[in-house]
Structure 1
Amino acid sequence: MTTLRHFQANEIIPFAACGSWPASRYLLDEPSAYALEMALVTRRPLLVKGEPGTGKSYLARAAAAKLKRLFMAEVINVNTEGQDLLWRYDPVARLNDAHAGLKDGHLNPKYYLNPGVLWWAFGWDSAVRQYNTCRHRVYCPQFSDPSACAKGVVLLIDEIDKAEPSLPNSLLEVLGNGGFDVPLLGSTIGKQADAIAPLVIITTNDERELPPAFVRRCLVLHLQVDDNDLEGWLIKRADVHFSDDQCSPDIKRLAAQQLKQDRTAAVGLVKAGLAEYLDLLQALDEMTKDLPSAERSTQQAQLLAHIQAFVLKKA
């Protein structure tokens, strides 16, 4: 087995809460470890594909924790525009200030230019200066360790397939060249010789086909549920989050068998996955935590029969 510099296969990576993202732990499988390592050395974005609930988004959280980098995230929706990820210019605020009597010197466009997540990721110091200059501030990343930005950024662009095709196409320059121009300032972001390139992780559920030119600029990782050994695959990940005192091996296996049955029955329908399996175990743990340990497994087995349908059966 080749020893990777930053990531190791089958490593359990804990990470703290960050903004709305809860604290958790992540089991890094071998393909993910190699993909992350390659993304770092090539400075290419990593496009992570897979069905919902396989941990695509949390891969970015784990990578940031392992690298001790600042974590940033942008969740894409149908209204997100590519320009928003670079910067947001507010001409309405500028017009209102002009009507309020501000003179030309105070109406410079730079006072109405808010850096977006890609600006923060590729040019942190420049984004800080621009954010402090902007008169109507919109976005500043949440972080718990101010020193983390000195080690670089891990940027998650989540569910890019929710956007119109124009959004990934608008990112071709920044993803291909590792930087972009800001014409209003006459400056370039991300091409400084001493800058630490961000690790950009982009997720998709494949609900919409992405433009070929965009995919070509990315490394692609497929996170897949191991249906050939589904029980073992699930239990291995359950052990990362739940001790045997919380949920016994028999309960973990019983829940995994139930999920396997539901996935088999859900032909052409939404299939439950890892996220639902962990939710089920969390419910069993929380709903029986006041019971004596000797009684927990028996009660959890009975409880499983009553609650599994709410978690696993999606149609």
Structure 2
Amino acid sequence: MPDRRDGLAYVMSPKLELAVDIAYATGRPLLLRGDPGSGKSSLAAHIAREKDARYYEHVVTSRTQAQDLLWTFDTVRRLADAQLGRPVKDHDYVEPGVLWWAFARRSAARHATDTESNSSRLPTHSVVLVDEIDKADPDVPNGLLTPLGSNQFKVTETADEVRLEEGSHLVIVTTNEERELPQAFLRRCVVVWLDHPDADGLVAIARKHLDTYEGGMTAPDEELARELAESVVELRKEMEREASRPPSTAEFLDALRACRELGITTSSPQWRELRDMALVKQQSGG
């Protein structure tokens, strides 16, 4: 089932609810750790919906710089305009990043080429997702320490001071553990590991998705979800013993959708192949 990033179908564990409350209470970023497909990236949109907050998202890549989350400066366009003899003002080439929008929406709107509609009526509270920060160089989290700690930064090219204007914000950062994060960054975050749900948790997640997007969970749907959930739990144990990557919650939902669409159950002849394709995903043949 695709991740719609709409915040509608999310089941929060008590531990995760507490972590969110602690992040709000301390004003610290919330760092979500865990395997891919465990629901880390979906949480921010859910919190934004629950809090009626503005939502911003930045997906980190290997080329991301810390400044990209604050602002970017279009040097190429500025040079082209200067060569054509057009008037050049540095403010015209600044594009606010997600943290600028979160800290100071009105200030960001004055610089943005794509201004938020009805900006005067938008909520003062915001939620920011910084997704997969472990893909970036360690300089990126280190470069965000001061802005995240002080809620302010200076735009180098224009000397503008960006400060928190109003309301509050929550920054949610995710990592897939592909690269170790700097200790200085970890110390300044509220950190929680998203554990794999047990069978009951998986069924609850399936029910939430089916109720939200498919018109509800029928009795046969629940029976199927229970069968798949118990199979996934056993498969996780088996794969962990073999030091293999266990199936994620997202893969469980994919398998459930495929079984529903194709009329396959765990007792069907096609189940083993579906399991291998949607859950095990072996790296080699055999």
- TM-score, normalised on structure 1? 0.79
1:248 to 221, 240, 254: 221
Aligned to 1:127: 108
Aligned to 1:184: 157
SS in 2 for 1:207: coil
Mapped pair 1:218 → 2:193: no
**TM-aligned CA distance change 1:148 to 1:32, over 3 Å:** farther
Q: Structure 2: how far apart are the matches of 1:154 and 1:197?
A: 9
1:149 to 122, 126, 130: 122
- TM-score, normalised on structure 2? 0.86
Mapped pair 1:86 → 2:86: no
Q: Structure 1: how far apart are the matches of 2:50 and 2:92?
A: 37
Whether the aligned pair in 2 keeps the contact of 1:77 and 1:163 (CA below 8 Å) is: yes
CA RMSD of aligned residues (A): 2.5
Q: Structure 1: how far apart are the matches of 2:61 and 2:189?
A: 20
Within 5 Å, give how 1:255-266 maps onto structure 2.
Answer: 255-266=228-239
**TM-aligned CA distance change 1:271 to 1:300, over 3 Å:** closer
SS in 2 for 1:26: coil
Q: Structure 1: how far apart are the matches of 2:220 and 2:119?
A: 37
Within 5 Å, give how 1:200-239 maps onto structure 2.
Answer: 200-226=171-197, 230-239=198-207
Alignment: residue pair count = 273
1:284 to 246, 259, 262: 259
Q: Structure 1: how far apart are the matches of 2:159 and 2:172?
A: 28
SS in 2 for 1:120: helix
SS in 1 for 2:236: helix
Whether the aligned pair in 1 keeps the contact of 2:53 and 2:126 (CA below 8 Å) is: yes
Whether the aligned pair in 1 keeps the contact of 2:7 and 2:49 (CA below 8 Å) is: no
Q: Structure 1: how far apart are the matches of 2:59 and 2:15?
A: 24
Q: Which amino acid aligns with 2:254?
A: D
Give me the identity figure in percent: 34
**TM-aligned CA distance change 1:146 to 1:26, over 3 Å:** farther
Q: Which amino acid aligns with 2:190?
A: L
What stretches of structure 2 of length at least 5 have no aligned partner? 211-215
Q: Structure 2: how far apart are the matches of 1:213 and 1:299?
A: 48
Whether the aligned pair in 1 keeps the contact of 2:11 and 2:205 (CA below 8 Å) is: yes
Q: Structure 2: how far apart are the matches of 1:148 and 1:223?
A: 35
Mapped pair 1:268 → 2:243: yes
2:82 to 80, 98, 118: 98
SS in 2 for 1:200: strand
**TM-aligned CA distance change 1:167 to 1:282, over 3 Å:** same
**TM-aligned CA distance change 1:149 to 1:214, over 3 Å:** farther
What stretches of structure 1 of length at least 5 have no aligned partner? 1-16, 132-136, 289-297
Bigger relative contact order (CA 8 A; separation at least 6): 2
Mapped pair 1:311 → 2:278: yes
Q: Which amino acid aligns with 2:53?
A: R
